């Protein structure tokens, strides 16, 4: 098992199949592991994941060859930083340093990094409550994100938002939204404003697959296509909405195709492949900037940790988690970078050290930052 995957596997929630609901489900339709109509064993599924990993390496290598080395380094660094930062979040959360909800992104890093590093700094980003990594990629410092998690004054919103509400107007990062799907309507409005004002900004709006069943998704996509808004909707399909699997809640597996109903451009992307995410986003950005038209990307990945830190995880098996860890996006990317001779083990060690040091600095800053003073209680509060 690769190092990064092992590190998180130990900390994964404890899935059980005791009540039957945790048993690994497979689909009759569209499941590549299905052999002669027979349900594959869990070992078959792990094998399939390994072979998909090898296939994916080939296309990733091609994309790496076309990309500037500086960008590749930044992509890898941000992915490793996101992973180490969030592992630390889990650790300090368990020590009682962070209160309230805390939703980790471990396993999904390729989505934020692949897409956001294709943007200009002036472009706008919104996401759900699973927002720490997106906030950092958009330029909010790890110190300000960690202090926000601690509820401290040095946080990006002075400790008043916490884990779910990272925000920075300066960095064009507009949340951190706790209402599932809420950011789809807000993001569509922001794209409308950009078009109305004639700015060159593209809006990138992330949401989970469970948000797609709500009316706001359909209403927003209709308006965005009708009015040709420069927005990219990224559905982060991690296959679960809390403990409910997509197959229990959605009549179709194919989320990208929902955009066909609005005649909107759409693509399905492998969210374990950071280069595939980057390339699909670059295509969507071109559509948005050139024609001012929207795109829906369904990016499929998997969260290794529970829905939030308080998730007992009794709805899935350890084998299911292991299957996705076999295709870990960081390991895949490092393997490809090494094979393409872009970076060596020495470079990887330097990146790892930089990420660990940056995370330690963020924790030290958060520990030392004071709690907000009482006089701050009613400032910047709208109710």
* Residues lying near Mg ion in the complex (CB under 5 A): 208-209, 238, 241
Report, in Å, the least distance between residue 212 CB and ligand TPP: 8
Report, in Å, the least distance between residue 363 CB and ligand TPP: 25
CA distances from 357 to 81, 85, 115, 361, 368 (A): 9, 10, 25, 6, 17
3-state secondary structure of 148: helix
Q: Which does 211 bind (CB under 5 to 8 A by kind): Mg ion, ligand TPP, none?
A: ligand TPP
Report, in Å, the least distance between residue 149 CB and ligand TPP: 17
Q: Which is nearer to ligand TPP, 134 or 369 (CB)?
A: 134
241 binds ligand TPP (CB under 6 A): yes
211 binds ligand TPP (CB under 6 A): yes
Distance from the Cα of residue 289 to its chain's centroid: 23
Q: Judged by CB under 6 A, how many residues of this single chain contact ligand TPP?
A: 14
Report, in Å, the least distance between residue 245 CB and ligand TPP: 10
314 and 18 in contact (C-beta within 8 Å)? yes
133 binds ligand TPP (CB under 6 A): no
Q: How is residue 172 written in tokens?
A: 């064009």
Closest CA to 332 of 42, 79, 71, 70: 79
Report, in Å, the least distance between residue 176 CB and Mg ion: 17
130 binds ligand TPP (CB under 6 A): yes
Longest dimension (CA), the chain: 68
Q: Which is nearer to ligand TPP, 315 or 365 (CB)?
A: 315
Contacts 24+ apart (CB under 8 A), 23-30: 23/317, 24/316, 24/317, 24/319, 24/320, 25/245, 25/247, 27/247, 27/253, 29/253, 30/253
Q: Which does 342 bind (CB under 5 to 8 A by kind): ligand TPP, Mg ion, none?
A: none
Cβ partners under 8 Å of residue 321, min gap 6: 9, 12, 15, 302, 304
* Residue entry with tokens 């809006």: 203
Q: Which is nearer to ligand TPP, 128 or 225 (CB)?
A: 128
204 and 232 in contact (C-beta within 8 Å)? yes
Q: Which does 115 bind (CB under 5 to 8 A by kind): ligand TPP, Mg ion, none?
A: none
Query: Count of CB atoms within 10 A of residue 44's CB?
Result: 15
CA distances from 172 to 151, 193, 198, 199 (A): 22, 14, 17, 13
208 binds ligand TPP (CB under 6 A): yes
Q: Which does 180 bind (CB under 5 to 8 A by kind): Mg ion, ligand TPP, none?
A: ligand TPP
Report, in Å, the least distance between residue 162 CB and ligand TPP: 14
241 and 209 in contact (C-beta within 8 Å)? yes
Report, in Å, the least distance between residue 131 CB and ligand TPP: 10
- What residues numbered 166-185 form the site for ligand TPP, per CB under 6 A? 178-180
Q: Which does 161 bind (CB under 5 to 8 A by kind): Mg ion, ligand TPP, none?
A: none
Q: Which is nearer to ligand TPP, 275 or 299 (CB)?
A: 299
Which of 63-71, 157-165, 217-225, 238-246 is the region at the interface with ligand TPP (rule: CB under 6 A)? 238-246
134 binds ligand TPP (CB under 6 A): no
SS3 content of the chain, % helix, strand, coil (to 5): 50, 10, 40
Report, in Å, the least distance between residue 211 CB and ligand TPP: 4
Q: Which is nearer to ligand TPP, 129 or 167 (CB)?
A: 129
Distance between CA atoms of 160 and 146, rounded to whole angstroms? 13
Report, in Å, the least distance between residue 325 CB and Mg ion: 18
Helix (H) or strand (E) holding 233: strand 231-237
State which of residues 85, 150, 173, 240 lies at the interface with ligand TPP (CB under 6 A). 240
300 and 52 in contact (C-beta within 8 Å)? no
State the residue number with the nearest CB to Mg ion. Answer: 208
State the residue number with the nearest CB to ligand TPP. Answer: 208
Given the rule CB under 6 A, which residues bind ligand TPP? 128, 130, 178-180, 208-211, 238, 240-242, 307
């Amino acid at each position: 098992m690769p190092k990064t995957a092992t590190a998180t596997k130990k900390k994964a929630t404890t899935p059980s199949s005791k009540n039957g609901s945790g048993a690994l489900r497979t689909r009759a339709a569209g499941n590549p592991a299905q052999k002669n109509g027979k349900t594959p064993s869990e070992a078959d599924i792990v094998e399939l994941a390994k072979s998909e990993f090898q296939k994916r390496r080939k296309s990733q290598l091609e994309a790496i060859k076309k990309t500037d080395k500086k960008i590749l380094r930044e992509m890898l660094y941000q992915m490793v930083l996101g992973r180490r930062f969030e592992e630390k979040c889990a650790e300090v959360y368990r020590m009682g340093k962070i209160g309230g909800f805390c939703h980790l992104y471990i396993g999904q890093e390729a989505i934020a990094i692949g897409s956001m590093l294709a943007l200009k700094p002036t472009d706008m980003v919104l996401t759900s409550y699973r927002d720490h990594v997106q906030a950092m990629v958009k330029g909010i410092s790890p110190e300000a994100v960690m202090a926000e998690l601690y509820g401290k004054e040095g946080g990006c919103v002075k400790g008043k938002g916490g884990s779910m509400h990272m925000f920075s107007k300066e960095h064009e990062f507009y949340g951190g939204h706790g209402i599932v799907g809420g950011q789809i309507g807000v993001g569509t409005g922001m794209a409308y404003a950009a078009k109305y004002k004639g700015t060159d900004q593209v809006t990138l709006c992330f949401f989970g697959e469970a948000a797609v069943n709500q009316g706001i998704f359909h209403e927003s996509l209709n308006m965005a296509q009708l009015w040709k808004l420069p927005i990219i909707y990224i559905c982060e399909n991690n296959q679960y909405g809390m403990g409910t699997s997509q197959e229990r809640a959605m009549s179709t597996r194919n989320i990208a195709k929902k955009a066909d109903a609005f005649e909107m451009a759409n693509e399905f992307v492998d969210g374990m492949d950071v280069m595939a995410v980057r390339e699909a986003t670059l295509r969507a950005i071109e559509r948005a900037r050139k024609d001012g038209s929207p795109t829906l990307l369904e990016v499929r990945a998997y969260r290794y940790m529970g829905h939030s830190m308080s998730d007992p995880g009794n709805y899935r098996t350890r084998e299911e988690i292991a299957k996705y860890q076999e295709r870990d996006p960081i390991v895949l990317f490092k393997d490809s970078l090494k094979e393409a001779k872009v970076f060596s083990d020495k470079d990887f060690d330097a990146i790892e050290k930089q990420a660990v040091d940056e995370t330690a600095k963020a924790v030290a800053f958060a520990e030392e930052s004071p709690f907000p003073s009482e006089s701050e209680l009613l400032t910047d509060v709208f109710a």
